[in-house]
Structure 1
Amino acid sequence: MTEILETPKLVVVFGGSGFIGRHVVRALAMRGYRIRVGCRRPDLAGHLQPLGNVGQIQPVQANVRVRWSIDRAVEGADHVVNLVGILHESGRQRFNTVHQFGAQAIAEAARAAGAGLTHVSALGADVQSPSAYARTKALGERAVLSTIPDAVILSPSIAFGPEDGFFNRFASMARFSPALPLIGGGNTRFQPVYAADIAEAVARSVDGLVAGGKVYELGGPNQVTFKECMQELLAITDRKRLLVPLPWWLADFMAFFLGLLPKPLLTRDQVTQLRAHNVVSAEADREGRTLAGLGIQARSLGAILPSYLWRFRAAGQFQRKTAG
């Protein structure tokens, strides 16, 4: 008698070629799902193929500003994951277009396809926020839940990992600059979360192990200030650099000009975001809407950063740690 094998479920991941996306794709591939990655440039998503078996991962062209491309990408899906987000505006990529209307379009397409939805937002999302990034992220959450009430929303703090744009950027800066800036004095608190831990939370939601209709706040095991992040980075890369406090007014002034660059080092909206702490709320912790509540043991900065910041040491992985 011939055994009929069940076809693995199809998960569509929008933004799967990005930083967090590659970790999400890897986590889903390890579970055996078929994965369709919706991205603007599928020709640049070749790095995803080795994360799964032959034919398991399929990049397709999709743009959250083009509704028909979303509908086409979602066709036949069992579950949809939305990771799309931008850190600064450029060209036609605007915060409200991507974070709000894009999120709603994906949710509507998922509902039409009868698929579940996991939406990755950001910790600190608030409709009253003076930051356009945080405000549109919150409006996106609202649009998703109004369209699919049992959707799972995951809101991580600043994410770190081998391809991150935070620690890698400042570590690279420390190679040439005698000083690193502490925006607003460096007192803003974060709860950095490892990208692979975010991916595990996404995968568990796809598995059906996460209750829908809630916003989960994802943070690492420790709260650290901006200054402490820089100190940790310098200790790991074994470099001595001055940490110079940058008053809010001066940071805002510099961000005005830096924001004009094609790939801005800092924008005024990012300075605005840094005025608010970015940590898991006591309410989310109490209600179990955290990584720990999902049964995931978050990994710390100290456990992960050395595994990829070693390349910023003067002698790379062969450098001996200096005393003190």
Structure 2
Amino acid sequence: MARSDSLVTVFGGSGFLGSQVVRALLRGGHRVRIAVRHPNLAFESQTQGRVGQIQRVACDVRDDTQVAAALEGATAAVNLVGVLFESPWQSFSALHGDAPERIAKACAKRGISRLAHVSALGADAGSSSKYARTKGEGEIRARAALKSTTVVRPSVIFGRGDGLLNRFASLATVSPALPMPGGGETRFQPVYVGDVAEAVSRTVDDPTAAGKTYELGGPEVLTLRQILELVNHETRRDRALLPLPAAAASALGLMLEPLSWVGLAPPLTRDQVALLKVDNVVSQGAPGLADLGIEATGVEAIAPTYLWRYRVGGQFADMAPA
């Protein structure tokens, strides 16, 4: 149990993963300050803790003054800020590279030694993907500013509200085929959002986690084809799986990217195609969930609990009429 006077500032605590990390920290007894650009988006977390255990503050991680204010009085911090695609308002460089360094420097200045920085599996400062490259640069810059920074690298994350299985399942409701950029042979190690959140919380509490890098993956390695087959099975649909050569996928990404200019999420970008050229699995021997005392949850145990909504007839579609 955390000390009653411990205060953890969570940057980016209102999103899919952020809300779960906040919940895990609250279970651990921490007081939590959720620092996000739009505090109203974190309203659901307000009911998760005791009276006075949660505070929401407005913070743009691109602003030194706001970051410093968000860390006032904190004993630890968690950085979850990131985007999957760039837009005219949010760049990979600003959020994945500059922000981790800014937060780490602010922590160091205030004597905060515990910082958990959530990056991504495959982060590499030498990657051809700008997403992976800036993620790798962010890790390096955060550690340079605060050596005790703990880096957490999850593989693709699944769970209710995810952007992985839900995206393909939604596409299956309107399209006769599901595209497989690169032929569908890229390997992933999907990890449950609840496991990632608990891992982040435990690194905050565990002094031996300081300065370490944890790679988080689930119990199974699946190809993109296998993930789409799972979606077909759970949605009770029989969509064709369409291999898409890298060149064709990049061309499609180029056409879809302008959606970000009007505030929409592109289903595919050229940078994501570049990411799909490299497997997204845990490195052999890397510290992971087991080292934090967490048993990994399989995707097949969780996916049916939320993909049923995409079936014709909904949750009870398989039940025979009385």
Q: Which TM bucket (shorter chain)?
A: over 0.9
- The SS at the match of 1:126 is coil
Aligned ranges 1:56-205 → 2 under 5 Å:
56-115=53-112, 116-205=114-203
CA positional deviation for 1:88: 0.7
Find the counterpart in structure 2 of residue 273 from structure 1: 275
User: What stretches of structure 1 of length at least 5 have no aligned partner?
Assistant: 1-5
Which of 14, 17, 20 does residue 11 from structure 2 map onto? Answer: 14
Identical-pair percentage: 49
2:4–2:29 contact (8 Å) kept in structure 1: no
Find the aligned partners of 2:230 and 2:277 in 1 and give their Cα distance.
21
Moved more, 219-228 or 259-268: 259-268
CA positional deviation for 1:211: 2.0
Find the counterpart in structure 1 of residue 298 from structure 2: 300
Deviations 1:215-254 (A, max 9, x none): 1111000100000000011111111111111111100000
1:100–1:137 contact (8 Å) kept in structure 2: yes
Find the counterpart in structure 1 of residue 266 from structure 2: 264
Q: 1:312 to 1:98 in 2, by over 3 A?
A: same
Aligned-residue Cα RMSD (Å) equals 1.3
CA positional deviation for 1:321: 6.8
1:238–1:321 contact (8 Å) kept in structure 2: no
- The SS at the match of 2:308 is helix
Deviations 1:84-123 (A, max 9, x none): 0111111231111111110000001111222210100000
What code does the residue aligned with 1:271 have? V
Tell whether 2:304 aligns with 1:314. Answer: no
CA positional deviation for 1:212: 1.5
CA positional deviation for 1:210: 4.5
Find the aligned partners of 1:136 and 1:63 in 2 and give their Cα distance.
18
What code does the residue aligned with 1:304 have? I
Find the counterpart in structure 1 of residue 240 from structure 2: 242
Find the aligned partners of 2:49 and 2:270 in 1 and give their Cα distance.
40
Q: 1:313 to 1:210 in 2, by over 3 A?
A: farther
Deviations 1:180-221 (A, max 9, x none): 001111000000000110111111111125522121111000
1:15–1:37 contact (8 Å) kept in structure 2: yes
Find the counterpart in structure 2 of residue 3 from structure 1: none
Find the aligned partners of 1:321 and 1:156 in 2 and give their Cα distance.
37
Find the aligned partners of 1:161 and 1:210 in 2 and give their Cα distance.
29
After the TM superposition, which segments of 4 or more aligned residues of structure 1 sit over 4 Å from their partners?
A: none
Find the counterpart in structure 2 of residue 216 from structure 1: 214
Find the aligned partners of 1:303 and 1:225 in 2 and give their Cα distance.
18
Find the aligned partners of 2:209 and 2:35 in 1 and give their Cα distance.
25
Find the aligned partners of 1:241 and 1:207 in 2 and give their Cα distance.
45
TM-score by length of 2: 0.95
User: What stretches of structure 2 of length at least 5 have no aligned partner?
Assistant: none
- The SS at the match of 2:184 is coil
Find the aligned partners of 1:58 and 1:300 in 2 and give their Cα distance.
33
TM-score by length of 1: 0.94
- The SS at the match of 1:170 is helix
Find the aligned partners of 1:161 and 1:280 in 2 and give their Cα distance.
19
Deviations 1:148-181 (A, max 9, x none): 1121110000001101111111101111111100
What code does the residue aligned with 1:191 have? Q
Deviations 1:42-64 (A, max 9, x none): 12221211222233211110111
2:158–2:164 contact (8 Å) kept in structure 1: yes
What code does the residue aligned with 2:91 have? R
Find the aligned partners of 1:98 and 1:306 in 2 and give their Cα distance.
33
What code does the residue aligned with 1:320 have? D
Question: How many residues are matched?
Answer: 313
Deviations 1:296-324 (A, max 9, x none): 101000011111111111111111179xx
- The SS at the match of 2:18 is helix
